């Protein structure tokens, strides 16, 4: 009876979805917004959310575990740890590397972490939040990523790690930087939040570092509404990360599970009494960064569509790149040599001699309902949050300054149609011709 009622309800959910979303609405140039990013959700997604809610999956449990294992297989990692955001995944990655369990390898206050000046704060914030020192390097125009040479120049006797994001889905030269990290005995963390499905030298990004992270915010390749994932093929590090995510707990039982180790009341740890309940023994100074099964159910449903999402992003980017090729005054993006990006956005730099500035072209696009975004924070070292903080800058940050002044990006996410892309191309050509 219950199963049959559940099935009827879920059938009604699909009917409700079809009634609410009967099909694509006609695109009206200049009136229909062309978003820079957004979630693409279907009846399967709605049903997955409702099914998890019907089962009262309000905490992290079996659906979370299934999503973690499924995503780890998809992205070629041995372990995945679900978090409540991509930002939390970055914090979890770096915090895990401070564990006393790592002995002399662990990161300690004052150690340096090489990173990029032009990007999003959550790649850099965990460095400062753990008492470490960010070492900022510049990027290249065109790819908007740094180079192995710049990273190597930044390494000092105090450098212990490298933490860099793949910019807008375009891989940084990760094989060369991974080799550099190994040669110098450094941890490499790949912020892969914008680049799920990108490859470098035929290998998925997110598989080169000791840790990689992704985000499930609606702007990203897959969505849970909010959420993130930390991935690793290092079993010890993944186990430590799970402890840091779950309050720093020593116990590895899943929620609602008891005594998997069969020694719950037999251990003596720290200076606690012998036999103290292992479920309440804490070995790390951790957080609560967990997500829920309801969100994980949406993530699982979205994962089935990942190949189509990736192909749509690539197709939209190619159409823009070919349609805008040769347009004067604009520097168009280039894939990093050896890479096949799963693009997050289409980035454009207004050249200094263009005869117009970013506010001019951005205003023109926005007035015509074409949404734009800056390259996140631009040069982070210029923001109030980072002025006066411990840091080291290596070389010039001229390109990071230039993108702060002259760079923006437009969308390629799967909700954008070929017709919309043609309108964007025509609008940009119209603007440049008039200037």
Active-site residue identified among 17, 166, 184, 220: 220
Residues in the chain: 435
Give the dihedral sign, CA 111/404/170/93.
positive
Contact between 50 and 7 under an 8 Å Cβ cutoff? The reply is no
Q: What is the DSSP string of 333-396?
A: P-PPTTEE---SEEEEEE-TTSSS-HHHHHHHHHHTTB-EEESTTSBGGGSTTTTTSS-EE-S-
Tally of CB atoms within 10 A around 105: 11
Distance CA 393, CA 125 (A): 16
How far apart are alpha carbons 90 and 92 in whole angstroms? Answer: 5
Number of H helices, E strands in the chain: 13, 15
- Nearest partner of 118 among 166, 186, 155, judged by Cα: 166
Residue of 345, 347, 365 whose CA lies nearest to 356:
365
Spatial distance between the Cα atoms of 145 and 147, rounded to a whole number of angstroms: 7
Partners of 213 in the β-ladder: 191, 230
- Closest residue by Cα to residue 180 from 204, 164, 169, 192: 164
Phi, psi of 314 (to 5 degrees): -65, -45
- Does 435 qualify as catalytic in the annotation? no
Q: Which two tokens stand for residue 179?
A: 């080799």
Residues with a catalytic annotation lie at 220
């Amino acid at each position: 009876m219950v199963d049959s009622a559940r099935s009827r309800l879920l059938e009604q959910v699909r009917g409700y979805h079809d009634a609410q979303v009967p099909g694509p609405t006609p695109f009206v140039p200049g009136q229909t917004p062309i978003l820079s990013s957004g979630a693409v959700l279907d009846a399967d997604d709605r049903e997955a959310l409702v099914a998890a809610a019907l089962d009262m999956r309000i905490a992290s449990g079996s659906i979370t575990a299934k999503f973690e294992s499924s995503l780890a297989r998809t992205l070629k990692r041995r372990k995945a740890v679900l978090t409540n955001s991509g930002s939390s995944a970055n914090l979890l990655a770096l915090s895990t590397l401070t564990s006393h369990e790592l002995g002399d390898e662990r990161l300690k206050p004052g150690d340096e972490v090489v990173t990029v000046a032009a990007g999003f704060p959550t790649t850099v914030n965990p460095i400062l939040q753990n008492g470490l020192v960010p070492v900022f390097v510049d990027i290249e125009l065109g790819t908007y990523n740094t180079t192995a040479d710049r990273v190597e120049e930044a390494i000092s006797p105090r450098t212990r790690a490298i933490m860099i994001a793949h910019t807008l889905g375009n891989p940084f030269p990760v094989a060369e930087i991974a080799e550099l990290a190994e040669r110098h005995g450094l941890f490499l963390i790949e912020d892969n939040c914008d680049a799920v499905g990108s490859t470098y030298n035929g290998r998925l990004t997110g598989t080169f570092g000791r840790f990689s992270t992704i985000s499930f915010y609606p702007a990203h390749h897959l969505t849970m509404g909010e959420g993130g994932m930390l991935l690793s093929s290092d079993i010890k590090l993944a186990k430590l990360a799970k402890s840091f995510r779950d309050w720093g707990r020593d116990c590895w039982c899943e929620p609602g599970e008891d005594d998997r180790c069969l020694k719950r009341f037999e251990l003596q740890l720290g200076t606690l009494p012998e036999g103290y309940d292992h479920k309440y023994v804490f070995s790390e100074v951790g957080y609560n960064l967990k997500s829920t099964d309801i969100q994980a159910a949406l993530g699982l449903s979205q994962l089935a569509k990942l190949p189509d999402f990736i192909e749509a992003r690539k197709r939209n980017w190619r159409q823009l790149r070919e349609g805008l090729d040769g347009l004067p005054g604009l520097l168009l993006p280039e894939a990093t040599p050896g890479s096949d990006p799963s693009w997050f956005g289409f980035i454009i730099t207004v050249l200094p001699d263009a005869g117009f500035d970013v506010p001019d072209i951005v205003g023109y696009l926005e007035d015509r309902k074409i949404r734009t975004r800056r390259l996140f924070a631009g040069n982070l070292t210029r923001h109030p949050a980072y002025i006066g903080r411990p840091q080291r800058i290596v070389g010039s940050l001229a390109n990071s300054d230039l993108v702060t002044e002259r760079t923006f990006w437009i969308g390629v996410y799967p909700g954008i149609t070929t017709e919309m892309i043609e309108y964007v191309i025509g609008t940009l050509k119209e603007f440049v011709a008039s200037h």
